[in-house]
Chain A
Amino acid sequence: SQTIHQWPATLVQPVGSPLSLECTVEGTSNPNLYWYRQAAGRGLQLLFYSVGIGQISSEVPQNLSASRPQDRQFILSSKKLLLSDSGFYLCAWSAQGYEQYFGPGTRLTVT
C-alpha cells in the first residue's frame, strides 16, 4: 500500500531564516505530487505540483520554491521566510488520475 511521509511535523522559524520541508511517498511510482498551504481556519491553496522529476509548476507567486530531485521526493524551500509564510503545509500525491492522498502536514510558525 502507498504511504506518504512529511517532516517535520511542527516547525518554528524566525523571519528571514531558510526553510526546507520534505515529503516522500512509498509504494507507488511516478506519482503526481502537490504542495498545499492552509492558513488557520481557511481552505487549501495549491502552491506547487509536479508530474515528474524536475518538473515543477507554480500556482502562486511567492518566496517559496519546490524541487523534485527523485521520483518520490518533493521538497518545499524558502531562502528567507516571511511572517505570512506561517501556516499548515500539506503534501499530497495522486496516481495518474484524480484522488489526492495527503500526508500528515507540517505546522510552520514564523516568528
Chain B
Amino acid sequence: AQKVTQAQTEISVVEKEDVTLDCVYETRDTTYYLFWYKQPPSGELVFLIRRNSFDEQNEISGRYSWNFQKSTSSFNFTITASQVVDSAVYFCALGDSNYQLIWGAGTKLIIKP
C-alpha cells in the first residue's frame, strides 16, 4: 500500500532556529514523485517542490532545503533560520502511477517571535 507519514503533528520553535519536518513514504512503484506543499493560515496550498525518485540529489532554495533518501524512504524538509512567516501547515505527498497524490496528515509549524 502507498502511504505518507508525517509523524510530527505540531512543531514550535523560536524565530531564527533551524527546523526539520519529517516525511516517510511507502510505495511499491519504482518511479514516483515526492512533493512538499505549504498551507499558510489563508488556506491556499502552495507548491514548494517536486522530487523524482531517480534523483536523490538534495535541493536547496534559499532557506529551504530538502533531503531525499531512498534507503530510508524519507524526504525531509529543513528550514534554516526560521521566520514568523514560515508559520504554516506543511504537507508531504507521494505521486502514484495514476497521477494521484497520496497526502500526509501535515505538520503544523509555529514560529514564535
- Which residues from chain A sit less than 8 Å from chain B, CB to CB? 32, 42-44, 46, 49, 88, 90, 92, 94, 96-105, 107
Contacts and interface: CB of A to CB of B under 8 A. Distances in A.
A15 B47 CA distance: 34
Contacts of B43: 88, 90, 104-105, 107
A101 B37 CA distance: 10
Contact of B35 (A88, A98, A104, A105): A98
B103 A43 contact: yes
B91 interface: yes
17 contacts: A43-B104, A43-B105, A44-B103, A90-B44, A92-B45, A97-B99, A98-B35, A98-B95, A98-B101, A99-B35, A99-B50, A101-B47, A102-B45, A103-B44, A104-B44, A105-B43, A107-B43
B50 A98 contact: yes
Contacts, number: 45
Given A98-B50, A98-B95, 13 more contacts: A43-B103, A46-B100, A46-B101, A49-B100, A90-B43, A90-B45, A97-B99, A98-B33, A99-B50, A102-B47, A104-B42, A105-B44, A107-B43
Q: Which 4 pairs, one residue from A and one from B, show the smallest C-beta to C-beta distance?
A: A102-B45, A98-B95, A43-B105, A105-B43
A100 B103 contact: no
A43 B99 CA distance: 19
Nearest to B33: A98
Nearest to A106: B43
Contacts of B47: 99-102
B99 A102 contact: no
Contacts of B35: 98-99
Contact of B106 (A43, A92, A96, A99): A43
A100 B44 CA distance: 12
A10 to B, nearest CB: 11
A97 B37 CA distance: 16
